[in-house]
Amino acid sequence: MANKKEEKYLEISKQIVDNIGGIENIQGVAHCATRLRIVLANNELANIKAIEEIELAKGVFIAGNQLQIIFGAGTVNDVYRVFSKYVNMEDMSLTEVKEQGAKKQNIIQTIIKSLSDVFVEIIPAILAAALLLGITGLLGGLDVVKNNQTLYAINRLASISASGIFSILPMAVCYSACKRYGGKPILGMVVGAIMLDSSLANAYLVGNGSLSPEIIKIFGFPIELVGFQGGIIVALMMGFVVAKLDVFFDKKVPDIIKLLVSPLLTVSISTILLFVIVGPIGRSLAFGITNALLWITQNLGVVGYMIFAGVQQVIVITGLHHVIAAIEAQLIADTGTNFLNLLMSVALVAQGGAVLGYLVLNWKNLKARELCFSSFAPTLFGISEPAIFAVNLKNKFPLIAGCLAAAIAGAYVYFTKLTSLGFGATAIPGFAICDPANNGYINYIIAHMIAILGGIIFTVILGKIIGKKNN
């Protein structure tokens, strides 16, 4: 049995190589949880349609300058083991493959990828805290918890632990950004701590007019000593600045005094830049982005919600969706809630609904049935790439149908005033961070059912129309 499997995976490996321009066109290979990732010297040599027909392949696409073949959890490990041995690239890590792919990216792609890397580093903590925050919020409203001393104490402690990451989020972002851009992470943490120093006027109190900050002057230039609570975009910028200063001084300062002088200069100059240049610019940028999004929801109303939900998964295809995490974090810092998370969640499951619609149209096709089931399941847990790249984008009309369904679900989100208390969790996991206000939990379920059913209905309708046109 084992030998038969080995032979099958070897045959799959040979077919892949034959359809990607040969071994000489391969620059790197690795795998993630579900996909075999291959960096090619020339992507145009890849025969996507032929690779899609290879046994066990559930979808093929090129993203992040990597050819990615979906084999599914577990299977991909076995395929990778044989394939990497066949092409003599057994020891490459996923990070190395990403770096190879990054060398082929343009400046915009590089910026987007780097921002994504910063938040990938800290999202597990944010996600865990957001889920716990949602759970403690739900339990806190129950009489059995309120009236039981022990249950109340446990829930209270859990609530405190959940809110911890959000109180130091700028420091965490600065740490992660500094690490991503090549600096010593501890220096990013130090500057992040300076952003939240207790001797500075609290940004929220200054913002609501209840506190006036101390003003100092350098050569007559006034500087407001205001903290950066909620300053996610400033933290991103400062992480980059700290990293570049750290690298610069490590190269320029003599070794004999480097250990003391290099970090001293990095932190000192970073602090001055924080209050004089980066902080004011970052605050203005964050203010502008947040207000633009709020303007859309306040002035375009339901249309604004429908537009965002309708196009969000198209943005996923481009990779630009990673940047939204910074905006979500800023929204939570500024308003306490996050309406974007709900719009992204319904947009995501709507693509899952479109997959089910395509399944209805192609029920008699066994390979399509297998592909649709395996592509739909991940959308329930907040992963839409298999649905988009394996089914919807390839066939075009399901993608359009999913976008239409998402727009309708977005309208429901608007009318029911649905919001989230965090970000990073969508679909079923996102239920835990849903704001319970305005019957939030019930409306969360309804909104997602609208998205899924809408995706099915629109896909079937468009599929039949297209089918009639082709006859």
- The phi-psi region of residue 394 (left if phi > 0; otherwise alpha if psi is between -120 and 50; otherwise beta) is alpha
Give the integer Cα–Cα distance in Å for 218 and 215: 10
Secondary element (H or E) of residue 441: helix 440-470
**Which of 32, 178, 403, 434 is the catalytic position?**
32
335-364 as b/e: b if 16+ CB within 10 A = eebbbbbbbbbbbbbbbbbbbbbbbebbee
- In the residue annotation, 32 being an active-site residue is answered as yes
Place of tokens 């997602």: 448
Listed residue (424, 265, 439) closest to 345, CA to CA:
424
* Rg of the chain (C-alpha set): 25
CB 58 within 8 A of CB 89: no
User: What's the chain's length in residues?
Assistant: 471
73-103 as b/e: b if 16+ CB within 10 A = eebbebbbebbbebbebeebeeeebbebbbe
Residue 136's Cβ-side half-sphere holds a number of Cα atoms within 13 Å equal to 19
What stretches of 105-210 show up as alpha helix (H) in DSSP? 107-140, 143-146, 149-167, 169-180, 185-195, 203-207
CB 190 within 8 A of CB 267: yes
How many other C-beta atoms lie within 10 A of the C-beta of residue 217?
8
The torsion defined by the Cα of 133, 135, 137 and 140, in degrees rounded to 10, comes to -130
Helices 149-167 and 169-180 pack at an angle, to 10 degrees, of 40
Both structure tokens of 100: 């190879």
The torsion defined by the Cα of 389, 390, 395 and 398, in degrees rounded to 10, comes to -80
Q: Which long-range contacts (CB under 8 A, 24 or more apart) does 260-263 make?
A: 263/184, 263/187
CB 83 within 8 A of CB 90: no
Active-site positions? 32
